[in-house]
């Protein structure tokens, strides 16, 4: 029933349309399920928006919308906020300036071969890899900042609750060991591969986008090596270089932007 036009895209690139669509979906759809936000959820929201305001490598108008919401949120000193007030700040910015987060979703690199596949969860991963790489590019002072923001956002708000439980147990196990911006980039990469490994062959997998240990040898030949035993090994230095290039702000494609 949801036949829609296929948007041709380059599988080796990141699309701004996916990143902006992830923002729209998280801030206008996922969050709107919470009429009021307080306690740990409010802390999580503040951290998430703050990280987006600092590191989202977007168009000036989108960055300025995020900064407006961030400064409003930092001023909220009460124990709770109403989602409707948050939403007014997010949407009303359009009247006072050119600050605006486009409405609606337009998946490009995160398109699925059918409507139930990919889309938002794909774009959440893409967003967070991009943010860890951006924090590295900008030499952020706190190596865990982006990961902890992602962790608490997922725990408080991510609609897929089994995903949130799985992610939290990985975070509890080893996120505290991250001490550099580079190891934050690699931590998220290796946990994402664990998730890929767990989900490979499941019904939730889009047959046109099989879950692999990423990046493939085609995408990054030098990332792959062999141990003396013949077992596969990752060349982490090359993986880091690859990720910093793949998710770099300079390479994000702006095709299909609204
Ligand atoms: P995705 O896994 O969403 O990846 C998106 C894109 O990222 C890929 O197309 C590729 O370009 C790139 N990529 C792939 N692997 C890596 C990597 N290792 N490092 C960097 N980039 C990479 N679904 C479940 O069914 N159960 C779960 O427990 C679950 N947990 C999740 C936890 C989180 C935090 C998130 C964000 C999602 C989770 N999901 C889970 C959803 C699932 O991981 C996929 O997002 C979804 O199945 C769509 O898959 P996809 O093919 O679009 O690729």
Task: Give the pLDDT confidence of 150-164 residue by residue, as tens digits.
Answer: 999 999 999 999 999
Residue 233 pLDDT exceeds 80: yes
Ordered DSSP codes for 96-112: HSS-----S---STT--
Instruction: Say whether 38 sits in a helix, a strand or coil.
Output: strand
User: How far apart are alpha carbons 90 and 95 in whole angstroms?
Assistant: 11
> Measuring from atom 10 of ligand 1, which residue has the nearest CA?
214
ipTM of the complex: 0.99
Average pLDDT over residues 82-88: 96
C-alpha 196 – ligand 1 centre gap (Å): 6
Average pLDDT over residues 96-120: 90
Is 90:25 a contact under the CB 8 Å cutoff?
no
With vertex at residue 200, the alpha carbon angle to CA 197 and CA 201, rounded to the nearest 5 degrees, is 155
C-alpha 195 – ligand 1 centre gap (Å): 7
Average pLDDT over residues 66-90: 96
Residue 242 pLDDT exceeds 90: yes
Is 57:134 a contact under the CB 8 Å cutoff?
yes
User: How far apart are alpha carbons 72 and 167 in whole angstroms?
Assistant: 29
User: How far apart are alpha carbons 40 and 36 in whole angstroms?
Assistant: 12
Please list the helix, strand and coil fractions of the chain in percent, rounded to the nearest 5, in that order.
Answer: 60, 5, 35
Ordered DSSP codes for 155-215: HHH-S-HHHHHHHHHHHHHHGGG--SHHHHHHHHHHHHHHHHHHHTTSTTS-TTS---SSS
- pLDDT at residue number 1: 41
- pLDDT at residue number 258: 84
The residue to mutate among 13, 125, 149, 192, having the most atoms of ligand 1 within 8 angstroms of its beta carbon, is 125
- pLDDT at residue number 100: 86
Residue found by looking up tokens 């962790």 in the block: 151
User: How far apart are alpha carbons 41 and 61 in whole angstroms?
Assistant: 27
Q: Which amino acids bring their CB within 6 angstroms of ligand 1? A: 110, 118, 121-122, 124-126, 129, 154, 160, 162-163, 166-167, 189, 192-193, 195-196, 199, 204, 206, 209, 214
Average pLDDT over residues 39-58: 98
Residue 96 pLDDT exceeds 90: no
Give the confidence band of 94 by pLDDT, cuts at 50, 70, 90.
Answer: low
Residue 2 pLDDT exceeds 60: no
């Amino acid at each position: 029933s949801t036949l829609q036009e296929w948007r041709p895209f380059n599988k080796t690139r990141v699309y701004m349309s996916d990143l902006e669509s992830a923002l729209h979906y998280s801030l206008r759809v996922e969050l709107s399920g919470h009429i009021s936000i307080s306690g740990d959820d409010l802390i999580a929201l503040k951290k998430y928006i703050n990280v987006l305001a600092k590191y989202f490598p977007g168009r000036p108008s989108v960055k300025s919308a995020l900064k407006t919401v961030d400064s409003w949120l930092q001023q909220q000193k009460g124990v709770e906020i109403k989602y409707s007030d948050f939403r007014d700040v997010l949407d009303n910015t359009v009247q006072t300036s050119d600050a605006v987060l486009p409405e609606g979703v337009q998946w490009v690199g995160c398109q699925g071969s059918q409507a139930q596949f990919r889309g938002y969860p794909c774009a959440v991963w893409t967003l967070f890899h991009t943010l860890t790489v951006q924090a590295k590019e900008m030499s952020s002072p706190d190596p865990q900042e982006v990961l902890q923001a992602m962790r608490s956002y997922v725990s408080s708000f991510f609609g897929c609750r089994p995903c949130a439980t799985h992610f939290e147990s990985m975070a509890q196990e080893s996120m505290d060991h991250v001490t550099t911006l580079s190891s934050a980039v690699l931590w998220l990469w290796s946990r994402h591969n664990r998730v890929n490994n767990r989900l490979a062959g499941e019904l939730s997998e889009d047959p046109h986008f099989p879950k692999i240990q990423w990046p493939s040898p085609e995408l990054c030949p030098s990332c792959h090596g062999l141990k003396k035993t013949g077992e596969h090994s990752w060349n982490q230095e090359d993986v880091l270089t690859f990720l910093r290039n793949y998710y770099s702000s300079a390479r994000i494609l702006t095709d299909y932007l609204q």
